[in-house]
């Protein structure tokens, strides 16, 4: 196991919801959800190279014979609601719900610039495209059938000083979907190292350590046919909460 950035029981204090089937944790920024082959610590990472959330799952057994496992993914610098299945049967059920689009996900984003339309639906296919030593999810030409269909609905909640506070709902679950879609409509996410400020060279060297302002705010999971859906919300991280407070104080509501 890699050296840990935090105590082994770090995630126990970040549990937002727990039952016999699943856990929902408040994912911190700066840690990938799992190890990737050949991954090394980048300039934006914190703590030892190679650390990831799965290193902390053993403390989340709560009496079960094995640790929970990821039911879906969030990007390394995205914060908020992350769902874990507590055993294989639960993981299969959660996997079906995610695959069928039955889990409702709400994200908060702070962007530089504003969409031309304050609310709407983004329908733009995404194609994995090499860039430098890595890759991005590029928006395909409108007439192309390349890549994967992707749909995101959004609404602008507040604008101030060239920034926008946007609520986004991905209707499909493509890699980097919200990040690529918001950049596509002229509202790249603040601090995004691939689609946002860093891409356009707007940050100073010190600003390269700034957190990415994308947060998985709310998730609604219809895990049981006999009970109401499980609704979980994650509070915004401190940096986002502080910026939202400034924006809401004298901002322009849409």
Point out the residues that are catalytic.
75
What are the C-alpha distances in Å from 236 to residues 76, 78, 244, 253? 16, 11, 9, 19
Question: Cβ(162)–Cβ(113) under 8 Å?
Answer: yes
Count Cβ neighbours within 10 Å for each residue of 13-33 and write b for 16 or more, e otherwise.
ebebbeeebbbbbbbbbbbbb
Handedness of CA 209, 200, 250, 110 (dihedral sign): negative
Nearest partner of 162 among 214, 113, 109, judged by Cα:
113
Question: Cβ(106)–Cβ(212) under 8 Å?
Answer: no
Question: Cβ(139)–Cβ(182) under 8 Å?
Answer: no
How far from chain centre, in Å, is Cα 238?
16
Burial class (CB in 10 A: 0-12, 13-18, 19+), 110: buried
What is the rounded distance in angstroms from the CA atom of residue 2 to the CA atom of residue 47? 11
Lookup result for tokens 């947060």: 215
């Amino acid at each position: 196991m890699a050296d840990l950035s935090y105590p082994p029981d770090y995630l126990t204090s970040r549990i937002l919801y727990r039952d016999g089937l699943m856990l929902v944790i408040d994912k911190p920024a700066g840690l990938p959800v799992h190890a990737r082959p050949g991954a090394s610590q980048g300039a934006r990472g914190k703590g030892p190279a190679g650390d990831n959330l799965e290193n902390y799952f053993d403390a989340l057994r709560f009496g079960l014979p094995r640790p929970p496992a990821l039911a879906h993914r969030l990007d390394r610098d995205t914060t908020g609601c992350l769902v874990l299945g507590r055993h294989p049967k639960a993981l299969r059920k959660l996997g079906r719900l995610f695959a069928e689009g039955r889990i409702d996900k709400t994200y908060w984003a702070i962007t530089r610039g504003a969409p031309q339309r304050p609310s709407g639906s983004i329908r733009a296919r995404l194609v994995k495209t090499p860039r430098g030593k890595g890759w991005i999810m590029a928006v395909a030409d409108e007439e192309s059938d390349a890549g994967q269909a992707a749909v995101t609905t959004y609404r602008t909640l507040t604008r101030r000083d060239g920034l926008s506070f946007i609520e986004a709902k991905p209707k499909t679950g493509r890699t980097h979907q919200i990040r690529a879609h918001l950049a596509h409509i002229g509202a790249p996410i603040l601090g995004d190292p691939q689609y946002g400020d860093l891409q356009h060279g707007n940050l100073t060297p010190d600003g390269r350590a700034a957190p990415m302002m994308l947060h998985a705010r709310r998730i609604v999971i219809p895990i049981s046919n006999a009970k109401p859906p499980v609704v979980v919300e994650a509070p915004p991280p401190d940096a986002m909460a502080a910026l939202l407070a400034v924006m809401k104080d004298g901002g322009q509501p849409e």
